[in-house]
Chains A and B, each alone.
Chain A
Amino acid sequence: MINPVLLIAIPLLLAFVSILYKGYRNNLLVFGALVNAGLVLTLGKGEYLIGGFKPPFGINLVLDDYAFLGLLVINGLFLLITLMSLDKIGENATVLLVALAGLNGLLLTGDLFNLFVFLEITAITAYILSASSRQYQHSFNYLVLGTLGSGLYLFGLILLYAVFGSLNMADLSLKMATADTSQLVIPSLLIFIGLGVEVKILPFNGWVRGVYGNSDSLVGPLFSAVYAGAMLLVFGRIFAQVIPLGAYLKTLLLLLGALTLIAGELAALSKTRIREILLYSSIGQSGLIVTLFLSGLVFPAVMQLFNNILSKAVLFTVAGQMADTTGTDDAEALQGAFARHKLAGVAFTIAGLSLIGMPLFYGFVSKINLLFGVFSLDNYWLPGVILLGTVIEGTYLIRLLVKLWMPGEEGLVSHESHATKAPLEIQRARVMGIVVLSAVLLVGGLMPGMIQNNLSESGRLLDETTPVYLFDLKGGQ
């Protein structure tokens, strides 16, 4: 059995080595990403100790279904995005290697302080990567907000340790389950705010516009798919599986999630720059997924999360490429752009439709699953909010797709003369990458049974000694 710690150790080792052999940085990065993506497939599920000390005294890695699915998608996407945008990496190969180690650590760790360390590592790589757009003020904003967020997370964790005397997730969740929930309000709120910065929850997401809005075809998909995916999975791990929330606090946080969903989608509706539309859609989707996690609908949330990040990887790659080669990503200036780039256009369209949740695509499966889940909850306003969000999302995404395929004024017959003259180029590697991703979305939509059965065959993983990590794949916790 392969120990999953290798997923963290190998990229880290390669990162240190890449300092010594600068000329081979990109080769080391591709090698690391390939090895990791291969290793994920051979992992044996279970609990792995670090240093040989049993939890809660030592640190453990937990590889259950939840972590395994996350690792599979995150490592796969990381490899694909790196290969797709190899020419954009520049000086950042070492940073990306450390980022890979950090992301895997986030998904694997079973210890809340260890999680903080990996949060720091991942966040710092994100700050450095965001600076590659040379918009230093936005990176600085992100740096300040992100650091404050990690600080608050740490503060919340200190309070938890002061009360319960443990940092291990499983141990803490057992102790917290029997504790008075009023003890947990402040620590869980602090941890929520800390993660909320990275997960893009409403009052804490001021950095997103500047960073996502200026991202290129490497940083855009990395942030919107890989980083966002890992951070949301961490959020789900903590708030759906470790920290129990009292009724009032839960309603408050649910409201914040729902508000993020509606505000994000409405903001996207009013934008004309493609990357801005997408980034507000990302915020909206984060709100939706956070809401699902908080409602205890873990499996629907994970499915919707994968739908979101697979789609966003395609959408942001194309949008970043448009901005890189034409200097603008305004939908008005780029109308009819897909007439000359049909393959990329098809991939973009599949991703967009899947994001809305159209039938034939994976998004439909996840949306149906999610709606069944939400309607089975004892909640009268949540389904309405989610449906409203979907309608708004459909409106602006379809409007965008029409614009990019059909040049012309809205409401008039489309005519070639309106088509963009912008010198848009999309490298073959990127086209291939996004075609692969959209094919995954298509296969997932056409054969939903295949994915679902494989997931449930992987079954329950951990033995009964750590009941907290058991969650039934079919219906949440």
Chain B
Amino acid sequence: MKKALAMLLLVLVGTLLFMGIYAMEGFRPYGEVDLAQRVSQAYIDKDVTGENPEVVYGISKDLETGSANLVTSIIVNYRSFDTLGEVTVLFLSALGVSILFGSFKGRLRSRYQPNFILRTGSKVVFPLILIMGVYIFIHGHLSPGGGFPGGSMIASAILLMYLADEAFRIRIEGFKMTEGIAGSLYVLLGLVGLTLAGYFLSNFLNTGTVGALFSAGIIPVVYVLVGLKVGSELTGIITDFLKGEVE
């Protein structure tokens, strides 16, 4: 009875939401939005702080944000404060997991023993995944990707090793150290910006030419820090979740 009632309520609320949203005049279909009416256009033209001619890949110099990747320029430059917050969210989640699972020792075992091919094959793939992860967060300002996906790839490489090798262990202290240092450096970078340019997290380095590897000021630095931090945090979460068997 209770379940049926909940179901009915869910359907009712869903229908109302659906109808309500489609009745909103301002809610335009995809492609019909006038970008000039919203904040997006300024991000595309990179002219938030002043007039700016057309942005040309590989030629335009010293823009307010030198990132060729539009999404990165928003995430790590215009709205970098949100990213600092999201990094903190992940930090907290990992911390919460480690507080909850802190009392557990040992690790869970799967019912299937990894065979020789899986063990050896994973060892071959492991460094490749690591390098790919690092590549992705180093090139976050140029190509799709960035600190979060790059860090997740690093953690996935560790997960692979855990799954492929029962005897695989990592020293979690090293990852905690990386996590703490990378987080502190991100905040410190913001504070340096506050001292040098007067604004927290401002891009105080030269932004260089759009599309060059060494460009976009502090964006690649931030992404490397985020990548290391996300990688070590997710590794910590994986390690904690694999705990459980009291030895």
Residues of A within 8 A of B (CB): 3, 5, 9, 12-13, 15-20, 49-54, 56-59, 91-92, 94-95, 98, 101-102, 105, 113-114, 117-118, 120-121, 124-125, 127-128, 131, 159, 162-167, 179-180, 182-183, 185-186
- Enumerate B172-211 residues with CB–CB distance to A below 8 Å: 176-177, 179-181, 183-184, 187-188, 190-191, 193-194, 197-203
Q: What are some 20 contacts across the A-B interface (CB < 8 A)? A: A5-B194, A12-B183, A13-B187, A16-B179, A49-B199, A51-B77, A51-B202, A51-B203, A53-B49, A91-B99, A91-B102, A113-B82, A118-B85, A121-B88, A131-B100, A165-B33, A180-B25, A182-B23, A183-B25, A186-B20
| B125 contacts the other chain (CB 8 A) | no
Task: Specify the chain A residue showing the minimal Cβ separation from B88.
Answer: A121
| Complex interface: stretch among B35-43, B109-117, B143-151, B155-163 | B35-43
CB pair B26–A127 under 8 Å, yes or no, is no
Q: Judging by beta carbons under 8 Å apart, are B200 and A121 in contact?
A: no
Decide: B187 and A20 in contact? CB cutoff 8 A. no
Q: List chain B residues, Cβ under 8 A from A165.
A: 33, 37-40
* Inter-chain contacts of A101 with B (CB < 8 A): 88
Q: Are B180 and A50 in contact (CB under 8 A)?
A: no
CA distance A94 to B183 in the complex (A): 13
Q: Using Cβ atoms and an 8 Å threshold, which residues of chain B touch A186?
A: 17, 20-21, 24
Interface centre among A5, A19, A102 (most CB of B within 10 A): A19
| Complex Cα gap A35–B169 (Å) | 40
Contact of B24 among A17, A50, A51, A163 (CB under 8 A): A163
Return the contact of A185 from the options B20, B42, B64 (Cβ within 8 A).
B20
Measured CB to CB, the residues of B under 8 A from A are: 17, 20-21, 23-28, 33, 37-40, 42-43, 48-49, 64, 77-82, 84-86, 88-89, 91-93, 95-96, 99-100, 102, 176-177, 179-181, 183-184, 187-188, 190-191, 193-194, 197-203
Chain B's interface: helix, strand, loop or mixed, by majority? helix
Closest chain-B Cβ to A136's Cβ sits at a distance in Å of: 8
CA distance A163 to B20 in the complex (A): 13
Say whether B181 contacts A20, CB under 8 Å: yes
**B85–A164 touching, CB < 8 Å:** no
Query: How far is it, in angstroms, between the C-alpha of A38 and the C-alpha of B211 when the chains are bound?
Result: 45
- The reply to whether B194 and A162 contact each other, CB–CB distance below 8 Å, is no
CB-CB nearest in chain A for B180: A19
Which A residues lie within 8 Å of B78 (CB)? 51, 53, 57-58
Decide: A159 near B24, CB < 8 A? Known: A52-B197, A91-B102, A117-B85: yes
- Residue of chain A at shortest CB distance from B77: A51
Whether the Cβ atoms of B187 and A12 lie closer than 8 Å is yes
With a CB–CB cut-off of 8 A, which chain A residues contact B84? 12
Asked if A12 contacts B200 (CB within 8 A), the reply is no
Complex: A17 Cα to B187 Cα, angstroms = 11
User: Hey, which chain B residues are within 8 Å of A18, CB to CB?
Assistant: 180
* Known contacts A3-B200, A186-B17, A50 near B80 by CB under 8 Å: yes
Q: By CB atoms of chain B within 10 A, which of A3, A9, A92, A127 has the most?
A: A9
